[in-house]
């Protein structure tokens, strides 16, 4: 795992991950959305690296984003989980 980042998996669609990425990009240094994803029970989960020390801010933004985006889940994970490359 990267020492300076936490891994989160966001359950959403490919269309929504672009919107989520644009919003998170506006918050300088909070997180980096990857195009890496995995399938779990038929759902796409997209990898997000969250900057160490910014976890609470990230979770707050994701909670507010649930009002505007179709986000099924936000779960903390591990970097060594095998994603697909999009």
On whether the CB atoms of residues 3 and 16 are closer than 8 A, the answer is no
Q: Which of 72, 58, 67 shows the shortest CA–CA distance to 7?
A: 58
Q: Looking at the domain assignment, is residue 36 inside a domain?
A: yes
Q: Looking at the domain assignment, is residue 47 inside a domain?
A: yes
What pLDDT shows up at residue 28? 85
- Here the CATH number for the domain that contains residue 54 is 3.30.70
What pLDDT shows up at residue 76? 94
Averaged pLDDT for residues 15-43: 91
What's the structural domain count of the chain?
1
Averaged pLDDT for residues 21-45: 90
What pLDDT shows up at residue 47? 94
pLDDT for residue 50 is more than 80: yes
Q: Looking at the domain assignment, is residue 85 inside a domain?
A: no
3-state helix, strand, coil in the chain (%, to 5): 30, 40, 35
Q: Looking at the domain assignment, is residue 69 inside a domain?
A: yes
Mean pLDDT of the chain: 88
| Helices and strands (DSSP H and E) totals, the chain | 2, 5
Q: Looking at the domain assignment, is residue 86 inside a domain?
A: no
Q: Is beta strand 5-11 parallel, antiparallel or unpaired with respect to 31-40?
A: unpaired
Half-sphere exposure of 16 (CA within 13 A, CB side): 17
Range of the domain at 58: 5-80
What pLDDT shows up at residue 66? 95
On whether the CB atoms of residues 6 and 52 are closer than 8 A, the answer is yes
What pLDDT shows up at residue 1? 43
Residue 80 pLDDT class (50, 70, 90 cuts):
low
């Amino acid at each position: 795992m990267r020492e300076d980042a936490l891994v989160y998996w966001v359950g959403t669609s490919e269309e929504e991950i672009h919107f989520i990425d644009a919003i998170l990009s506006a918050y300088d240094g909070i997180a980096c959305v990857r195009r890496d994803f995995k399938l779990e029970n038929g759902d796409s989960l997209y990898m997000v690296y969250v900057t160490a020390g910014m976890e609470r801010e990230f979770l707050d933004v994701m909670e507010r984003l649930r009002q505007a985006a179709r986000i099924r889940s936000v779960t903390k994970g591990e970097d060594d989980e095998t994603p697909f490359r999009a």
